[in-house]
């Protein structure tokens, strides 16, 4: 006589509780172990993919920051050069207003000194921006590398989870199939 699942594995009026047989328990254990390993591996892979996506976003942001650093330093350099020209022009104007030749003597030396220092400072402004940009690009490369490493690590962890699940399933099956050797419960 064929019985329904409810009749075989549940409370059946007049029959009481039916206990699962060892083969069904073993099959159920194998199925849940496989499902658990699969879900765990999937979530591990998804976590690694999310870390990689986050790292790529951070790298893109750092790359954009590098361009902004260069642009800001160029603007700073131009401002320094403008201040230098204004200071040199002021020296020349004051010398001319007093009737002195601005190209010789103290006014000339002062103008040359202002020009040299201003040129040096404007080049340092540009160097500082380039240096910041290099740091941003290095950080971007590190973020990409970190994301790749996180993804590879999660893939390996997922493979380990699947292997552990397969080992658990094999252990459950062997204990069931060979009870006298491995302390299982019955045979197929």
Structural domain total, the chain: 1
Q: What is the pTM of this model?
A: 0.63
Question: Is 93 inside a domain boundary?
Answer: yes
Averaged confidence pLDDT in the chain: 84
Question: Is 12 inside a domain boundary?
Answer: no
CB 118 within 8 A of CB 99: no
pLDDT at 1 over 70: no
Q: How far apart are CA 178 and CA 186, in angstroms?
A: 8
CB 118 within 8 A of CB 112: no
Give per-residue pLDDT as tens, 45-102.
Answer: 999 999 999 999 999 999 999 999 999 999 999 999 999 999 988 988 888 888 777 7
Question: Is 163 inside a domain boundary?
Answer: yes
Task: Look up the domain containing 148 and give its range.
Answer: 22-182
Question: Is 8 inside a domain boundary?
Answer: no
Question: Is 153 inside a domain boundary?
Answer: yes
Between these two residues, 138 and 176, which has the higher pLDDT value?
A: 138
Question: Is 102 inside a domain boundary?
Answer: yes
């Amino acid at each position: 006589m064929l019985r329904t699942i409810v009749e075989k594995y549940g409370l059946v009026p007049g029959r009481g509780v039916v206990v699962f047989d060892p083969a069904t328990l073993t099959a159920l254990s194998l199925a849940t172990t496989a499902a658990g390993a699969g879900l765990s591996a999937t979530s591990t892979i998804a976590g690694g993919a999310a870390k990689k996506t986050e790292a790529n976003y951070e790298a893109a942001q750092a790359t954009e920051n590098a361009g902004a650093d260069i642009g800001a330093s160029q603007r700073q350099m131009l401002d320094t050069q403008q201040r230098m020209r204004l200071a040199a022009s002021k020296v020349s104007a004051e010398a001319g207003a007093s009737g002195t030749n601005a190209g010789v003597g103290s006014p000339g030396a002062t103008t040359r000194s202002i020009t040299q220092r201003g040129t040096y400072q404007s080049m340092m402004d540009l160097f500082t921006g380039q240096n910041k940009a290099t740091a941003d690009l290095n950080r971007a490369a590190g973020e990409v590398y970190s994301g790749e490493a996180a993804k590879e690590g999660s893939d390996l962890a997922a493979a380990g989870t699947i292997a552990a699940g397969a080992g658990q399933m094999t252990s459950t099956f062997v204990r069931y199939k060979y009870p006298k050797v491995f302390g299982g419960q019955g045979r197929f």
